[in-house]
Structure 1
């Protein structure tokens, strides 16, 4: 890693994040961490596959850029998806000059903590990527927050890299809304023409490298468990790591 890890309690976090960290630690000490994880794992939803998907996906690999709260958990989920070759934590929605963790944490840069997912469309479609995103990676009904994290930098957002991706995303949001899959309206924003900027090295592969970190135990490991439970055909045991992808390039 090229940068030193900052204070373990992320400096951009609000008081609720600190509370969850403390609660997770207490649960682990009390031997209740597993029970909490199982309870949280029930939050995921079984949702229909998209009725509209890409008609002619590009040859080779494809990229999807998604935001759904803290990027640690979103990255961790997609690293365990079959057909994904890389999932990079980063920032999208703002300018390159402000794409830095401490600055994004102010909530004033326009950025959202995001993940750039590189996948093989012959193994998994863009629509199926979105199905996992809406089902287990985050709660698309939360406006400018996910779990203990609050602010526009934690918004639910899709950053299409093509007009076809945008059409698929819009159609799927409409489909899920009409089906009333969620108890509240989907607030996911679809933001075109936004660049993605990788986050600092210490944020990459964070879930894999820190599986006992209280925030990860309480908020993110249940998401990976949900992926395995609800999408067994798409779950991969060995995660696609950023470090390995860099080494192979």
Structure 2
């Protein structure tokens, strides 16, 4: 098993996308990249903890590669808006890849360079993985537990539709 640590806006949205992928065994929503120890959701929402909402992905590299995870990541959020995803604004919603080793760092840097070569103005932060703090239990698998919640009902289905149309070959059967 391998792990990947990504932030692409609200972790409810990003988690819902990655849980659909073959080879993804577990997705844990949480916080990383800030200065507050053991942050709470309230700390994150205030926007002064420095943390981003992130997901920690446990995946089987025999079924899905880190590069494929990166492709899905860049296709299912907007990596061109600084500290913003849709109506969510603040540093906690920044686009970020926290690499866990040199191989992940290189793969992410190459993908960012390839996108920029296509004139995509990528603002995704690429940094070594800091300490990861799991979010409160009620945030885990949030969309599956709350499909009719207003925010989820508005924000997540378009991302899942994009995932299904572009990455059908990577979806769980």
| TM-score range relative to shorter protein | over 0.9
Q: How many residues align?
A: 173
Q: Matched residues in 1 for 2:127 and 2:150: separation?
A: 32
Deviations 1:198-231 (A, max 9, x none): 1001111111111111211111121112111111
Q: Which structure has the larger Rg?
A: 1
Matched residue, 1:133 = 73
Calculate the aligned-residue CA RMSD, in Å. 1.2
Q: 2:138: which partner in 1? A: 202
Given candidates 106, 109, 113, the residue that maps to 1:170 is 109
Aligned partner of 1:212 in structure 2 is: 148
Q: Which residue of 2 aligns with 1:32?
A: none
Between Structure 1 and Structure 2, which shows a larger proportion of strand residues? Answer: 2
Gap regions ≥5 residues in structure 1: 1-60, 238-249
Counterpart CA distance in 1 for 2:74 and 2:114 is: 12
Q: Is the 8 A contact 1:69 1:145 kept in 2?
A: yes
Q: What is the rounded CA distance, in whole Å, between the counterparts of 1:211 and 1:222 in structure 2?
A: 13
Query: What is the deviation of 1:76?
Result: 0.3
Would the aligned equivalents of 1:134 and 1:140 in 2 still touch at CA under 8 Å?
Answer: yes
Is 1:109 aligned with 2:45?
no
Write the mapping of 1:232-243 to structure 2, written as runs, cut at 5 A. Answer: 232-236=168-172
* CA–CA distance in structure 1, aligned partners of residues 86 and 129 of structure 2: 28
Who is 1:84 aligned against? 24
Post-superposition Cα deviations, 1:152-196, rounded to whole Å, max 9, x if no partner, equal 00000000011111111111100111023x4xx110001114111
With structure 2 as the length reference, what TM-score do the two structures score? 0.96
Select between 215-224 and 150-159 the one with higher mean Cα deviation: 215-224
1:66 pairs with 2:2: no
Q: Measure how far apart 1:98 and its partner are.
A: 4.4
Alpha-carbon distance in 1 for matches of 2:94, 2:59: 23
Match in the other structure for 1:55: none
Where structure 2 has 5 or more consecutive residues not aligned to the other structure, the ranges are none
1:143-154 → structure 2 map (5 Å cutoff): 143-154=82-93
Deviation, 1:96, is: 5.9
What SS does the corresponding residue of 1:175 show, helix, strand or coil?
A: helix
SS at match of 1:140: coil
Counterparts of 1:108 and 1:164, CA distance in 2: 32
Correspondence for 1:142:
81
* TM-score, length basis structure 1: 0.67
